[in-house]
Structure 1
Amino acid sequence: MNDAAMTPTPNDCDLPRRRADFATLTEAIDYAAASEKGLNFHDMRGTLERAYPFAEMRDDALAMARRLVASGVKKDDRIALVAETGPEFAALFCGCVYAGAWPIPLPLPTTFGGKDSYIDQLAVQLESSDPMMLLYPAEIGEMAGAAAAKQGCEGIDWESFATRPHPECALPEAAPDDICYLQYSSGSTRFPTGVAVTHRALLNNLAGHSHAMNVRDDERVVSWLPWYHDMGLVGCFLSPIANQVSADYLRTEHFARRPLAWLDLISRNPGTTLSYSPTFGYDICARRISSQSHVGDRFDLSRWRVAGNGADMIRPDVMQGFVNAFSEAGFKASAFTPSYGLAEATLAVTVMPPGEGIRVELVEEERLSGTPRDLSRPARYRAIVNCGKPVLDMDVEIRGENGAVRGDHQIGKVWCRGPSVMHSYFRNQEATDDCLVDGWLDTGDMGYMADGYLFIVGRAKDMIIINGKNHWPQDIEWAVEQLPGFNHGDIAAFSVETENGEEAPAVLVHCRVSDPDERIRLRDQIADKVRSVTGMSCVVELVPPRTLPRTSSGKLSRAKAKKLYLSGEIEPLDLRHAA
């Protein structure tokens, strides 16, 4: 590798910045390629492995596009890509777009589940998207190849694909209303479904990022987010291209092993930094550093201007823990930039104006659940995070069950409308009609507006309704997390039908103790804690660590946890011999 490849791409260049004001992604790539900026890939310790200027990425993408055409790929064919963070995926994704095909980013294997479950997951998404071929890294060839064979599409590792001939040929010209790619939503609100995103929708949302965050000329993006999830793909891969920003990447699995490498990379960043993470990323870093001293000697987070937070419910207590841990390193609480979005809106719906930080409102739990206050019990409050203002061209409304628009501080379903709302769910008209009405998208989330800002309170489909009273599962899960020994993501709450036919809350909890008597005490302690929150008895099941299922973006999947529990696939630890 030449020395130039070991020098990061620069922050500045003479090319005038354009804020994603392009008609198509191919036009955006062509423009970015005229700059010296690009993508930079780092190893687990944050050492630069490959600098990949946009010009080189474009050349590789065009060669990939010609290989696809030579392989028989036509306009509007689908090409599934296992989304490993690296130059190969970047070139293939852009190559598909140049060829007029629709790239479909699919997840890498995770440590959760096993080989068979990954093959099954890929096969389900391949069946849904019906691609012509699946391209993947050679190291997962056995699993990816099995999934491709199961679906009946061609499976080939991308090293082998890169050796195919790429003769000169005419490539189709993209139009703004053509489908650009298919994005599989994480499945936290609905069963994972392919979201069809047009060039127009994508570029509008990418312009929204740049305007909402007021991207500066000396800015750099630093990211460990996976490229199969909308926040990683759109926010941290496609947005730097369309807004001409150099970016530095750690692979997600490297972040999982060495989370502080993320902050090391930010510390070495010569410019101001844009970097996003779900709540759990900040939580992991704060926990890792808690036992270390001299934080200010190792890290310099003073140039971290936009510390984005999204993709799951934002926890003010966790964010405060991060501030406590890293203020000595120059991190400013005002850098936190909460946001709200979903794949069905391409990505961003609302973003907090930079510099305003995290702002919360304390709301009575009875108001959140829409049930009358029990005057015999003291009022309980939950801190609700302000997720910011609608991005460029986006309208947001809060609606009641009858569809009527609600006023400020009135909780209801969150609806949004704008050019970046999805075209459709691919080949699923019923699901499309279920959430798209007269151009408005029913997000499936609950929230309220106040002075032009959006506050998210939870997901409508997760609501636990018992004896006519509504309970948010987050409230139950957060209560259990306050007990010693539990981490974010150790608890899943949902409702089940008991033997007498009544509904009751059920709580599945990762258990790390082996002593039978300790397990009994732990179960009773959890039951008491839930009773103090809900006023009712619950079913508590202790399960082995790493049992609770996750969505593709790493979020807890309550719906899948319930399904696996009821089907017997999640087996609780046996406590009978200890009773």
Structure 2
Amino acid sequence: MPTDLAPEGATPTLDTQPRRIADFATVGDALDYAAQGSRGMNFHDARGTLLRTYPYAELREDALGYARRFMTLGLKPGNRVALVAETNPDFAACFFGAVYAGLWPVPLPLPTSFGGRDSYTDQLDVMLQSSDPQLFLYPEEMESFTTDAAERREVKAMSWEKLAEQDQSDAPLPQADENAIAYLQYSSGSTRFPHGVAVTHRSLLDNLRAHGLGLKVQDSDRCISWLPWYHDMGLVGCMLSPMANQISVDYMKTEDFARRPLTWLDLISRNPGTTLSYSPTFGYDICARRISSQSKPSERFDLSRWRIAGNGADMIRPDVMQHFLDIYGEAGFQASSFCPSYGLAEATLAVSLMPPGEGIKLELVEEEKLAGGAPAPGGDDRPQRYRAIVNCGKAVEGMEIEIRDNEDKVLGDHEVGRVLCRGSSVMVGYYRDEESTAACLSDDGWLDTGDMGYMSDGYIFIVGRAKDMIIINGRNHWPQDIEWAVEQLPGFKSGDIAAFALTSDSGEELPAVLVHCRVSDPGERATLHAEIKERVRSITGISPIVELVPPRTLPRTSSGKLSRVKARNLYLSGEIQPFEIAA
């Protein structure tokens, strides 16, 4: 079989090795098999230049070496190893090395632009406290960022460059157990009280198999990714799934994508095979906005072989996806390539996937019915006020989905309620947090996702997060609706607005909106402030609190989502300082 469907110098797309769709008992078994072929990982710089080819065979050899070094350091099965999740071969080898040694790797986030060094140190501190690792690994150039947090928690810390200098134990590796914990995944919940999701080998492999079957993996598939490895979509969807399904991957770092997002599309264009690549909505938005109005996408890009353009990890914005299609359709991108999905770390990753080729499908849902839990529209009358809700596909193999009301009654089609799921890939629980586990996971295995949605003919439609709901005068409002309304004003984009509720001195709930402001003229600011206030008042029926804040002020979670909870807390604490508005 030819092995030339790959960028020059990279691991091949095609291989003679028979493909197995993640039908392994443990992560180590999966890597052992992938290493028998010639596929692997490929690391590129911000311009898309290939820096390092890393076949799975070489990854396995390095991982086994690190496993024996961990044993030399005295680490025992069940010990935790925290790792800063840099997108490079060192992290991959240390992660799999920890798994081979029976340890529990704990991927930790990289620094973000918001908050600076102190904020990052605090974030590491709470995650180290939660996971209680016996070893903390990081890239050498990040030593100044990591040592403070390690010293606070009295955790042994070293760079992976130093780890590579350790002797290798000659003791036999521990026998892997498919029901043992494979790793801890920190969900994008509270930064102050992070939740470490305990993922077993069995739950991981079941989800990876469901992922591969759901995407109908083909021999000519190749994955392209810029997603961070500390988030479930990046780690599970774009590192562990390609390995377990024997797919070659081309990586660029997340920070390189932020600087040069169109390199992502360059990498896809250079791929002669068919392509799997995923992004939250904001990734497609950035690429649609970044292309120059003078440029012709068809002259630079060829996106005709992009088979699966996955979308998940946040609310899917149909207007953004349409804009991307409008821009890049001339470069061969097809609407049917869009693959909406729904998932969360507590379910390992995937809960539902849109069947390949069906693209994005919408339903127009009246806001009153969304907020009140009444049936979604089924008739021909178009509601006066509605929201377009994206179809997120069908439950993956081995997963059940139910919609329930607040009394746990199972609801029928087109009835909005709480989204619950059950399956073999649902977590065993949060690490050392029985209270939080019991709050979302029932004795019979049903996980309350914290999301709201409804079912329609076997498809799941996600409406929003239950905890983000804003209740004004007894009426429910989704913050996404308020934010979207403000975004329609000129000069705004997704992520510029955070809507939440504040309690007045009288105990009344008031809508509050923080808005990134790029206008410097005081008069123009005052006009903008008034326009936003009127726009929000028209939706909520009450005069809101509107604050204009400097660009890049609103915080995001480690996965890049807007954090409304953190924005509210920073505003109340005075850490977010709004501009003064002239009377």
Q: Distance in 1 between matches of 2:462 and 2:236?
A: 22
Q: Does 1:445 align with 2:451?
A: yes
Pairing partner for 1:340 from 336, 339, 342: 342
Q: Distance in 1 between matches of 2:73 and 2:167?
A: 9
Q: Distance in 2 between matches of 1:145 and 1:73?
A: 20
Are the counterparts in 1 of residues 374 and 415 from structure 2 also a CA contact under 8 Å? no
Matches within 5 A, 1:474-489: 474-489=480-495
Pairing partner for 2:115 from 113, 116, 130: 113
Residue 499 of structure 1 and its aligned partner are, at CA, apart by: 3.4
Q: Does 1:395 align with 2:400?
A: yes
Residue 291 of structure 1 and its aligned partner are, at CA, apart by: 1.7
Q: Distance in 2 between matches of 1:267 and 1:191?
A: 41
Residue 290 of structure 1 and its aligned partner are, at CA, apart by: 4.6
Q: Which secondary structure does the structure 2 equivalent of 1:486 belong to?
A: coil
- Between 1:562-571 and 1:445-454, the stretch displaced more is 562-571
Q: Deviations over 1:62-95 (max 9, x none)?
A: 0000000101110000000000001000000000
Residue 192 of structure 1 and its aligned partner are, at CA, apart by: 2.4
Q: Which residue does 1:462 correspond to in 2? A: 468
Residue 526 of structure 1 and its aligned partner are, at CA, apart by: 0.3
Pairing partner for 1:434 from 412, 434, 439: 439
Q: Match of 2:509, as an amino acid?
A: E
Q: Which secondary structure does the structure 2 equivalent of 1:386 belong to?
A: strand
Q: Which residue does 2:188 correspond to in 1? A: 186
Q: Deviations over 1:303-325 (max 9, x none)?
A: 00000000000000000000000
Are the counterparts in 1 of residues 28 and 99 from structure 2 also a CA contact under 8 Å? yes
Q: Distance in 1 between matches of 2:374 and 2:99?
A: 53
Q: Which residue does 1:310 correspond to in 2? A: 312
Q: Deviations over 1:264-301 (max 9, x none)?
A: 00000121000000000000000011523221111000
Are the counterparts in 1 of residues 214 and 355 from structure 2 also a CA contact under 8 Å? yes
Q: Deviations over 1:150-180 (max 9, x none)?
A: 1110111111111111132211111110000
Pairing partner for 1:356 from 355, 358, 369: 358
Are the counterparts in 1 of residues 7 and 272 from structure 2 also a CA contact under 8 Å? no
Q: Match of 1:495, as an amino acid?
A: A
Q: Match of 1:561, as an amino acid?
A: A
Matches within 5 A, 1:143-542: 143-187=145-189, 191-370=193-372, 379-437=384-442, 438-542=444-548
The change in CA–CA distance for 1:389 and 1:189 in structure 2 (over 3 A counts) is farther
Q: Which secondary structure does the structure 2 equivalent of 1:328 belong to?
A: helix
Q: Which secondary structure does the structure 2 equivalent of 1:96 belong to?
A: helix
Q: Distance in 2 between matches of 1:500 and 1:483?
A: 32
TM-score, normalised by the number of residues in structure 1: 0.97
Q: Distance in 2 between matches of 1:528 and 1:299?
A: 42
TM-score, normalised by the number of residues in structure 2: 0.96
Q: Which secondary structure does the structure 1 equivalent of 2:392 belong to?
A: coil
Pairing partner for 1:140 from 117, 123, 142: 142
Moved over 6 A (4+): none
The change in CA–CA distance for 1:202 and 1:186 in structure 2 (over 3 A counts) is same
Unpaired segments ≥5 residues, structure 1: none
Q: Which secondary structure does the structure 2 equivalent of 1:349 belong to?
A: strand
Q: Distance in 1 between matches of 2:149 and 2:77?
A: 24
Q: Distance in 1 between matches of 2:531 and 2:7?
A: 56
Are the counterparts in 1 of residues 130 and 194 from structure 2 also a CA contact under 8 Å? no
Residue 241 of structure 1 and its aligned partner are, at CA, apart by: 0.7
Q: Match of 1:135, as an amino acid?
A: L
Q: Distance in 1 between matches of 2:194 and 2:331?
A: 40
Residue 255 of structure 1 and its aligned partner are, at CA, apart by: 0.2
Q: Percent identity?
A: 67
Residue 334 of structure 1 and its aligned partner are, at CA, apart by: 0.4
Residue 535 of structure 1 and its aligned partner are, at CA, apart by: 2.1
Q: Distance in 1 between matches of 2:236 and 2:550?
A: 35
The change in CA–CA distance for 1:19 and 1:422 in structure 2 (over 3 A counts) is same
Are the counterparts in 2 of residues 189 and 444 from structure 1 also a CA contact under 8 Å? no
Q: Deviations over 1:100-150 (max 9, x none)?
A: 000000001111110000000001100000001110011111111111111
Are the counterparts in 2 of residues 400 and 413 from structure 1 also a CA contact under 8 Å? yes
Are the counterparts in 2 of residues 352 and 388 from structure 1 also a CA contact under 8 Å? yes
Are the counterparts in 2 of residues 371 and 469 from structure 1 also a CA contact under 8 Å? no
Q: Deviations over 1:548-572 (max 9, x none)?
A: 1110001001111111111222122
Q: Which residue does 1:560 correspond to in 2? A: 566
CA RMSD for the aligned pairs? 1.5
Are the counterparts in 1 of residues 498 and 562 from structure 2 also a CA contact under 8 Å? yes
Q: Deviations over 1:333-385 (max 9, x none)?
A: 10000000000000000000000000000000000100799xxxx82000000
Q: Distance in 2 between matches of 1:166 and 1:303?
A: 45
Q: Match of 1:227, as an amino acid?
A: W
Q: Deviations over 1:168-207 (max 9, x none)?
A: 2211111110000000001179942100000000000000
Q: Distance in 2 between matches of 1:163 and 1:327?
A: 51
Q: Match of 2:431, as an amino acid?
A: F
Q: Deviations over 1:225-278 (max 9, x none)?
A: 000000000000000110000000010000000000000000001210000000
Number of aligned pairs?
A: 570
Q: Which secondary structure does the structure 2 equivalent of 1:17 belong to?
A: coil
Q: Distance in 2 between matches of 1:402 and 1:189?
A: 30
Q: Which secondary structure does the structure 1 equivalent of 2:65 belong to?
A: helix
Q: Distance in 2 between matches of 1:211 and 1:371?
A: 33
Residue 486 of structure 1 and its aligned partner are, at CA, apart by: 0.8
Q: Distance in 1 between matches of 2:178 and 2:459?
A: 30
Are the counterparts in 1 of residues 126 and 192 from structure 2 also a CA contact under 8 Å? no
The change in CA–CA distance for 1:272 and 1:190 in structure 2 (over 3 A counts) is farther
Q: Distance in 2 between matches of 1:388 and 1:357?
A: 10
- Between 1:468-477 and 1:159-168, the stretch displaced more is 159-168
Q: Which secondary structure does the structure 1 equivalent of 2:339 belong to?
A: strand
Q: Distance in 1 between matches of 2:8 and 2:223?
A: 18
Q: Match of 1:407, as an amino acid?
A: G
Q: Distance in 2 between matches of 1:372 and 1:210?
A: 36
Q: Distance in 2 between matches of 1:407 and 1:371?
A: 12
Q: Distance in 2 between matches of 1:523 and 1:371?
A: 33
Q: Match of 2:316, as an amino acid?
A: I
